[in-house]
Structure 1
Amino acid sequence: MKLISVKNMKALESAANEGGYSYEKMMLKAGQNMAQVVHDRYFKKGITRVMGLVGGGNNGGDTIIALTALQKLGWTCSAFMLKEDPQWQTLIIELHANGGKVVDRDRFEEELSHTQLVLDGVMGTGFKMPMREPFVDFMKKFNKLSDGKLIVAVDCPSGVDCITGEACAETLHADLTVSMEAVKEGMLKFPAYEYCGEIVTVDLGIPAKTLKAFDSGDVVIDEEMVKALLPKRDNSGHKGSFGHLMVCGGCINYPGAPMFAAQSAYRTGAGLVECAIPERVYAAAVANNLESIFTILEDQDGVIAENAATILIPKLKQVNCLLIGIGIGREETTQRFIKRLLFDMNNKNKSAGAGFVPGTAKVKTKDIEKYPRMVIDADALRLLADIDLWYEKLQAEAVLTPHPGEMSALTGMSIEEIQMDRLEIARRFAQKWGQVVVLKGALTVVASAEGKVAILPFANSALAKAGSGDVLAGMIAGLMTQSVNPFDAAVAGVWLHARAAEAVVKTHGTTFSLLAGDLIDAIPSAFSELM
């Protein structure tokens, strides 16, 4: 689904109108297409009685046209006019002509008692807080009377600010929001998102040339988009065909993190996953991850030591992707390890251990000709933040996966500032850093170095658990290992991660009990939705 700002949506409609595709044609298409969505979803379930709440503006016209279309499809339709608008007289006449009716205030409650579904067309995307009378009184009353009714919002729920994401207390909670042409940005902010229910879009019939001129590339991630991004699986392939991933992380305090990432990468299709971990955690790691192979890194008091970079550098030319940071800790020696591995690896030769036995190794410039793609996660992000102009020095394509706290460390902004405008903050810094940024959290944002963004319409407290981020990092890295480009891998990864969480919640019957291991086990279920 496309994503657009209110400002750009108005400009798009204006350009279409000036180009000969009139506002009237757009409204007709909007109402008809919305009616078809409602009919296809509900009619066969025995839901056939609908009332439209009609306000002023284009939403009102869309609603009346939808009611007329539904009446023609066999529904019993009525309209309640909250605001008399002379421009809708022709549309009302057509509704009457096809068997629909307009309900007056005296008969409103009786008619509503027989209604199964309500089209909320009171206010549109131009709404600004606060809601005023007589709408406040009506919406409060309607909220009390609408219990058990399906609510379908026309373009957006009435009372939502589609720019800021604010929402009035009187706003109706929609089961479904049918957005015209594209989802409006403010609908994917809190608290507005909680009023939208499921979100779908319908087109307005605007000519392709006009649409192209206003296409920013911003999207809302959906199933069809993700299905197109998955790598092909050749039946004649072998493990080498599906890539070699190196997972580097773990420490005495977080021994499980790289195992979660490795297992999720395997579940996402990677052919071979190698774990580079400190010697101190090897026994625990291998007991819980028999599928992986291991490189043992020199450690210092249970954390990866600086000299471990010398072991890892020669191996990077053998892998398709490096995932670094999960459970790695923030000790000084690990900071120096990160710096050498990512920035200084061609400049110095130092002694270190290799494999299971400490020894001496020399690293030459020719050992690494090109960095593999990377996923940089967790404490590696905080360690990066301490390196001046790291984004100018990093020579690899990377996906950075910060939660708001890590994003704060990287940007110098407060968490509150970041959360107030997640989409634009992610976009700005993805462009500045020249890398893909996955700003995690409710309504995860994926931003590309070129400035396009994708938002995941998903928010569930089940994922507020230690280890869930390690699983996501492994999934994204697993896709990148199979040659999916970084932005597409991030988009597909966050969607599959969310669907896996939904599967776990469905199985458990609660959002309280999800564990990272449950997520990994549910990854196949997420993939099966796309097959």
Structure 2
Amino acid sequence: MSAVDDIDDAWLHRWPLPMPRADDDKNQRGRVLVVAGSPQVPGAALLAGTAALRAGAGKLLIATGASIAPRIGIEMPESRVVALAEDGEGGLLPGGVEPLHGLVEQIDALLLGPGWLDGRAGREFVHAVLTVFPGKPVILDAKAMSAIESLPPLEQPLLLTPHAGELAELAGEKREDIDADPMSAAARAARRWNCIVALKGPLTVIARPDGSLWRHRGGNVGLASSGSGDVLAGLVVGLAARGAPLEQAAAWAVALHARAGDALATRIGMLGYLARELPGEVPAVMRGLTQGPGQSDLPSIRAT
């Protein structure tokens, strides 16, 4: 197995995030497409979209089922919302990607899957979406990951975000084996599917197909709550839209997510803080990690 890099302060400082220039507008700061939510879990789209903006992306587009799109638009006034055709169970129809055509030049990174409950419909929809956005960095989360076995070879960067239970189901392995050796499990999955894998857990491992490995220890048990993974996925896509390679976006997102949880645990308590409170902690955490001693504030970004 390749050498493993620890994602700590020193590592983060050695690989800083792309930063906007003082004269960049919202389009140049990064444009995100989040395809998320379902009638049973509409809030996943809000959590992921909010996190993407808190990670510094400049523009957000949420695509979701037609039955919940108006609610999402009201709850997320910062986002444009596109309504997609859905089946009777709230799954997105592969033939309903037409509203996304013509958006290729308006999107820098995509996130698919938060809040999806139908794996079969998810697989077919992922295939349809990827044909619309060739070459764009893609994060597959939750049920969208079920498409990975049937995807053809891709010309675009791809990241999966499973926890141990999800990876066990995807790979046909035993969860206890994955828990026992998450680094080997993540490395196997990355090679098998020729993509980047962020295996989430108390020890989070990020693996590339070429054998490169990164690991992060940190966070607290308060992060193990409903919606926390949606926030993490949103942070990844927000950083990717800013121009970070997917492995860097994943590593930084994991660190920001963990430290946001630590900030809430300090202020509120380790148990009982909510996933929707995590994104609000991210800008301050990110500022602390991106500014060295004696550095001034980031340049002002004009409103557009």
Query: Retained in 1: the 8 A contact 2:163–2:201?
Result: yes
Q: Distance in 2 between matches of 1:369 and 1:264?
A: 22
Query: What amino acid is the match of 1:418?
Result: I
| 1:254-280 per-position Cα deviation (integer Å, ceiling 9, x unaligned) | 101011111111001101010001111
User: Structure 1, residues 54-91: CA drift from partner, whole Å, max 9, x if none?
Assistant: xxxxxxxxxxxxxxxxxxxxxxxxxxxxxxxxxxxxxx
Partner SS, residue 64 of structure 2: strand
SS in 2 for 1:304: coil
Q: Whole-Å Cα distance in 1 between the matches of residues 50 and 220 of structure 2?
A: 23
Contact 2:122 2:143 in 1 (8 A): no
Greater RCO, 1 or 2 (C-alpha within 8 Å, sep 6+) = 2
State how far apart, in whole Å, the 2-side matches of 1:497 and 1:295 are. Answer: 28
Task: Name 2:10's counterpart in structure 1.
Answer: 224
Is the counterpart of residue 468 in structure 1 residue 258 in structure 2?
A: no
Q: Does 1:377 align with 2:141?
A: yes
AA partner of residue 221 (structure 1): I
- Structure 1 residues without counterparts, runs of 5 or longer: 6-215, 346-367
Give TM-score scaled by structure 2 length. Answer: 0.89
Q: Give 1:315 shift.
A: 2.2
2:295 corresponding residue in structure 1: none
- Measured after TM superposition, the shift of residue 416 of structure 1 is 0.7
Q: Distance in 2 between matches of 1:376 and 1:225?
A: 25
Kept in 1: contact 2:162–2:198 (CA 8 A) = yes
Q: Does the alignment pair 1:436 with 2:196?
A: yes
Structure 1 residues 254 and 453: alpha-carbon distance in aligned structure 2, compared to 1, 3 A threshold: same
Identity of aligned residues (%): 30
1:395 alignment partner, SS class = coil
User: Does residue 515 of structure 1 match 2:302?
Assistant: no
Letter in 2 for 1:338: V
Task: Name the amino acid aligned to 1:326.
Answer: P
Find the aligned partners of 2:197 and 2:121 in 1 and give their Cα distance.
26
Aligned counterpart in structure 2 of residue 497 of structure 1, from 249, 253, 257: 257
Q: Deviations over 1:451-507 (max 9, x none)?
A: 111111115211110110010001011110011111111111100110101001011
- Does the C-alpha gap of structure 1 residues 369 and 437 become closer, same or farther in structure 2, counting only changes over 3 Å? closer
Secondary structure in 1 aligned to 2:255? helix
- AA partner of residue 303 (structure 1): G
Task: Identify which of 287, 291, 306 aligns with 2:78.
Answer: 291
2:302 corresponds to which residue? none
Work out the CA distance in 1 between the residues paired with 2:105 and 2:173: 36
Structure 1 match to 2:296 = none
Correspondence 1:44-443 to 2 at 5 A: 216-227=2-13, 228-301=15-88, 302-330=90-118, 332-342=120-130, 345=131, 370-381=134-145, 383-384=146-147, 387-388=149-150, 390=151, 392-443=152-203
Distance 2:79 2:42 in 1: 15
Larger Rg over CA atoms: 1
Give yes or no for contact 2:219–2:261 (8 Å, CA) kept in 1.
Answer: no
Helix, strand or coil at the partner of 2:272: coil
> Retained in 2: the 8 A contact 1:244–1:273?
yes
Q: Distance in 1 between matches of 2:240 and 2:38?
A: 25
**Closer, same or farther in 2 for the Cα pair 1:451/1:328, shift >3 Å?**
same
Contact 1:317 1:372 in 2 (8 A): no
User: In 1, distance between residues paired with 2:44 and 2:278?
Assistant: 13
Q: Aligned to 1:526, which of 285, 300, 303?
A: 285
**Residue aligned with 1:438, SS:** strand
Kindly provide the CA deviation profile for residues 70-127 of structure 1, in whole angstroms up to 9, marking residues without a partner as x: xxxxxxxxxxxxxxxxxxxxxxxxxxxxxxxxxxxxxxxxxxxxxxxxxxxxxxxxxx
Q: d(CA) in 2 for partners of 1:430 and 1:276?
A: 28
Structure 2's unaligned 5+ residue stretches are: 292-304
Separation (CA, whole Å) in 1 of partners of 2:105 and 2:210: 27
Call closer, same or farther: CA 1:217–1:483 in 2, change over 3 Å: farther
How far has the Cα of 1:371 moved from its partner? 2.8
TM-score by length of 1: 0.52
Counterparts of 1:313 and 1:436, CA distance in 2: 26
CA distance in structure 2 between the partners assigned to 1:369 and 1:310 by the alignment: 12
Contact 1:316 1:371 in 2 (8 A): no
